[in-house]
Structure 1
Amino acid sequence: MAGQFLPIVALLTSTFLMLLAGGLAGILLPLRGGMEGWTTTTIGWMGMTYSLAFTAGCIIIPHLVRRVGHVRVFSALLTLLCMALLLHALVIDPVTWMIFRGIAGFSLAGSYMIIESWLNERVTNETRGMVFSVYMIITMIGLLCGQYILPFGDPGTQTLFIICALIYAAALLPTALSNAQSPRPLTQVSLDLKGLYRRSPAAAVGSLIAGIVAGTWNFLAAIFGEMNGLSTFGIATMLACAMIGGVVFQYPIGRASDFVDRRYVMVVAGIIGFVLSAIMITFQPTSAIMLYIMMFLFGSVIYPIYSLNVAHANDYADANEFVKISGGLLIIYGVGSVIGPAVSGPLMDMIGAPGFFITMAFAFAFYGLHALWRIRRRQRPAISDQKTEFKFHPPDNKTTPETMQLDPRAESGKG
């Protein structure tokens, strides 16, 4: 097994470092914005620009790579990431921070795509599933560890920004010193919204809703924790509890959806998400332990729903359409992640912390009700072996069309 991973150790190391810095930045920047007295709406706009630029990067970066090559583009993007983090520390202004977040989102999209393209080139069909699983594990561990860097510094100073920039710089070294040959051209997203909706309305609408949920969670959960009086360590733990909940529950949810109509699982996920949101709105728990427990349970539906959409769409796909359909759903998901903070930010400004879960409640209610409506409108695939196998994807702007190429289902389009 060691021999299978040796050729990709450098790539996986770069991935881990990029996710480490990304986990730190994702919690550091909204907290610093809150310390500066910026409104939640303003912080939500920063999340919007990040998501919008990340989605645009998935479309534009493949053209840049074709023109100048993987290594040059990767080096330029990591340089931009370092500059963006340092500029956050130098220029404390909400408008410029939106620009810097946009630069970071665009650069991260391209960086992930190039890393994943290299990984795709180094794996075989026999090792693809194992490498995909390891890649997902490294993604989760990197994000988790990055969040726990926050308590070791003061968000009000420049230190954590410099540390984050240094980690991004370090992520360049393993691939820059690697002797791996440049891989094939990056996957170009083909977006056919009408075709995606006709093929699987539940997956298309579900991906938009999943993006709204993820955008709200990724960019404003730290502010929600701060509003409830959590320390920096407490906020990191709250986010970690949700992530752990997603990891624990994604297997049973995924396996259940492999044996029954996935839309029934979507309905159940929508009910669970709505009920948990209603509990948070009604009782507004503020004790750290209760928040950790509720976020652990909430993670059980935040994290798997996007993967349910991808698997459901591909149940109706031809054998060679996995990457095309998954890439299209990813763009729809990106649009949702722009909408999420735009809606929840103003709500949190108007009514405080409950506004966070009001957005979540409406999103999950619509997710479940739409899936229920689609069950009445369309039969499930007639043959059980036509169903794709459920595979987990993190619910954040870390997944690109190249991730779909790495997914073992891309080999044949079906699990």
Structure 2
Amino acid sequence: MLASLRSVFSLILSTLLMMIGFGLASYVLPVRSVVEGWSTLIISLIATGYTLGFTLSCIVTPKFVARVGHVRVFAALITLLSIAILMCGLVVDWRAWIFFRAISGFAISGSYLVIESWLNERVTNENRGMLFSVYLITTMVGTIGGQYLVPLGDPTNSSLFILCGVLFSLALLPTALSSSAMPAPPAQANFDVPGLFRRSPVAVVGAFLAGAMAGAWLNLGGVFTQKIGLSTAEGATLLAALLTGSAISQIPIGRASDRMDRRIVMVACGIVGVASCLAMVAFVDASPMALYVIAAFVGSVLFPIYALNVAHANDLARPNEYVEVSSGMMITYGIGTISGPLMVGPVMDRFGPPALFVVLALYFALYAAYATLRIARRSQKDGLVAKTDFQANTMPTPGMEAVNAMNQAIRPAGLVEDDTAPARSS
């Protein structure tokens, strides 16, 4: 195990540094936006620029990697990350920030893909679960650690923006200097979202809603903490509590979905989401500790539901279709992340910061209701005998989608009884 960890140490270190910078940027930017007096609608437009760039990179980055290789693309993307955050500190204008954030979204998305596809080349079936668990823990620890750097500086000047640029630049060094063999280019896949919807409507609708909720929270959560009067340290703790809840719930949700109809678990997650979001609205004026606990319950279902949808979609696919299915899910999720801030921002402007959780509760209710409808419309699939493995994912990324698809494609033969059986709609 130690030998396996040594072989990917540089990748893990690059990931840690990049995610510290990401965590810092994802909190300091909303804080600075509030300080500048920008409306929640304007902040939502800035967030939409980020999600547009993020989604576009899912399609474009693999083409660049195929042409010039992982290391060169990663170096270019990290450079773009540093430039974008430094320009945000230099040009404090919301119109410019939309463009800068689009560059950031494009770069961070592509960086995920490069790191994760490279990591996938270094693992085996025996150590895959352990190494990717280390990777996921690293992303969470880095993000939380970056958020706690905010109180160390002053968001009203450029110091924290410069620190972000330094962290992103440092993230390039371990991978650029690594002696590990270059990974093969990631697999190319067609995007057939309509076909995916015909096969598994609940997975596609669920991925869209999961993206909308994640996009709204990741881009407006910091605004929520500022506008309800939390200090930067308290706000960072609330964001950390939500991520911690997400990490803790991965295994129980995954095991439950592996043992029963995954749509029943979707309904349960939706109910938990509705209850916890409404609790946040009801106790928004409570002590910070109470908010931390409620946020952990929100996080316990906010991010894991996407992995649940991916697992369900893969259950209904043949082995040679996993890459295409995962690619379609990735694009659907990306479109959802674009819509989330645009939908929630104007509502927060009109009704106040607690409206964020009112809208999230509505999304969770739609998620549970649609899964219930599909259960009533069609019984649990019986065309494919074995389920695919649930792949935990604390914060969905495009690179992990490619990794999950490749993992499924190389699983041992015999798990699917009839490869030629038509996939069932569910």
The interval holding the TM-score normalised by the smaller chain is over 0.9
Paired position in structure 2 for 1:386: 386
Q: How does 1:269-288 map to 2 (within 5 A)?
A: 269-288=269-288
Q: Offset at 1:331?
A: 1.1
Distance 1:327 1:398, change over 3 A: closer
Q: State the alpha-carbon separation in 1 of the partners of residues 401 and 49 from structure 2.
A: 20
Query: Higher mean Cα deviation, 86-95 or 111-120?
Result: 111-120
For the Cα contact (< 8 Å) 1:51–1:397, is it kept in 2?
no
Distance 1:105 1:136, change over 3 A: same
Paired position in structure 2 for 1:330: 330
Q: With the length of structure 2 as denominator, give the TM-score of the two structures.
A: 0.93
Q: Offset at 1:287?
A: 2.4
Paired position in structure 2 for 1:232: 232
Does 2:163 match 1:163? yes
Distance 1:397 1:115, change over 3 A: closer
Secondary structure of the 2:92 match is: coil
For the Cα contact (< 8 Å) 1:212–1:340, is it kept in 2?
yes
Q: State the alpha-carbon separation in 1 of the partners of residues 216 and 403 from structure 2.
A: 23
Does 2:360 match 1:360? yes
For the Cα contact (< 8 Å) 1:330–1:400, is it kept in 2?
no
Q: State the alpha-carbon separation in 1 of the partners of residues 305 and 26 from structure 2.
A: 21
Q: How does 1:369-380 map to 2 (within 5 A)?
A: 369-380=369-380
Q: Offset at 1:162?
A: 0.7
Query: Higher mean Cα deviation, 72-81 or 329-338?
Result: 72-81
Query: Higher mean Cα deviation, 10-19 or 230-239?
Result: 10-19
Paired position in structure 2 for 1:81: 81
Paired position in structure 2 for 1:154: 154
1:211-243, Cα deviation, whole Å (9 max, x unpaired): 011011100011111111101100110011111
Q: Offset at 1:383?
A: 7.6
Q: State the alpha-carbon separation in 2 of the partners of residues 258 and 38 from structure 1.
A: 45
Q: State the alpha-carbon separation in 2 of the partners of residues 371 and 190 from structure 1.
A: 26
The percent of aligned pairs where both chains have the same amino acid is 46
The amino acid of 1:247's aligned partner reads A
1:16-45, Cα deviation, whole Å (9 max, x unpaired): 111111111111111111110011111111
The amino acid of 2:391's aligned partner reads K
Does 2:124 match 1:124? yes
Query: Higher mean Cα deviation, 188-197 or 82-91?
Result: 188-197
Does 2:268 match 1:268? yes
Q: State the alpha-carbon separation in 2 of the partners of residues 117 and 307 from structure 1.
A: 18
Paired position in structure 2 for 1:248: 248
Paired position in structure 1 for 2:424: none
The amino acid of 1:389's aligned partner reads D
Q: State the alpha-carbon separation in 1 of the partners of residues 332 and 114 from structure 2.
A: 21
Q: How does 1:46-57 map to 2 (within 5 A)?
A: 46-57=46-57
How many residues end up aligned between the 2 structures? Answer: 414
For the Cα contact (< 8 Å) 1:40–1:346, is it kept in 2?
yes
Q: Offset at 1:276?
A: 2.2
Q: Offset at 1:180?
A: 2.2
Distance 1:119 1:334, change over 3 A: same
The amino acid of 2:168's aligned partner reads Y
The amino acid of 2:392's aligned partner reads F
Q: Offset at 1:319?
A: 2.1
Q: How does 1:15-414 map to 2 (within 5 A)?
A: 15-382=15-382, 386-397=386-397, 399-405=399-405, 408-412=407-411
Q: State the alpha-carbon separation in 2 of the partners of residues 385 and 96 from structure 1.
A: 53
Q: Offset at 1:137?
A: 1.3
Q: State the alpha-carbon separation in 2 of the partners of residues 215 and 309 from structure 1.
A: 17
Paired position in structure 1 for 2:420: none
Q: State the alpha-carbon separation in 1 of the partners of residues 38 and 189 from structure 2.
A: 36
Paired position in structure 1 for 2:4: 4
For the Cα contact (< 8 Å) 1:59–1:189, is it kept in 2?
no
For the Cα contact (< 8 Å) 1:327–1:400, is it kept in 2?
no
Q: With the length of structure 1 as denominator, give the TM-score of the two structures.
A: 0.95
For the Cα contact (< 8 Å) 1:77–1:110, is it kept in 2?
yes
The amino acid of 1:36's aligned partner reads E
Q: State the alpha-carbon separation in 1 of the partners of residues 138 and 279 from structure 2.
A: 33
1:82-106, Cα deviation, whole Å (9 max, x unpaired): 1111101100000101100000111
Q: Offset at 1:130?
A: 1.9
Q: State the alpha-carbon separation in 1 of the partners of residues 408 and 141 from structure 2.
A: 23
Q: Offset at 1:54?
A: 0.8
Q: Offset at 1:203?
A: 0.5
Query: Higher mean Cα deviation, 344-353 or 114-123?
Result: 114-123
1:325-369, Cα deviation, whole Å (9 max, x unpaired): 122111101110111110111111111112201210210111000
For the Cα contact (< 8 Å) 1:210–1:306, is it kept in 2?
yes
For the Cα contact (< 8 Å) 2:84–2:104, is it kept in 1?
yes
For the Cα contact (< 8 Å) 1:327–1:404, is it kept in 2?
no
Identify unmatched segments of 5+ residues in structure 1.
Answer: none
The amino acid of 1:328's aligned partner reads G
Q: State the alpha-carbon separation in 1 of the partners of residues 398 and 195 from structure 2.
A: 25
Distance 1:389 1:379, change over 3 A: same
Query: Higher mean Cα deviation, 335-344 or 276-285?
Result: 276-285
Q: State the alpha-carbon separation in 2 of the partners of residues 399 and 366 from structure 1.
A: 28
Secondary structure of the 2:166 match is: helix
Query: Higher mean Cα deviation, 280-289 or 293-302?
Result: 280-289
The amino acid of 1:17's aligned partner reads L
The amino acid of 1:368's aligned partner reads A
Q: Offset at 1:283?
A: 4.7
For the Cα contact (< 8 Å) 1:229–1:286, is it kept in 2?
no
For the Cα contact (< 8 Å) 2:110–2:399, is it kept in 1?
no
Secondary structure of the 1:353 match is: coil
Q: Offset at 1:190?
A: 2.1
For the Cα contact (< 8 Å) 2:267–2:371, is it kept in 1?
yes
1:72-130, Cα deviation, whole Å (9 max, x unpaired): 22211111111111101100000101100000111111111111221122222222222
For the Cα contact (< 8 Å) 2:247–2:394, is it kept in 1?
no
The amino acid of 2:230's aligned partner reads L
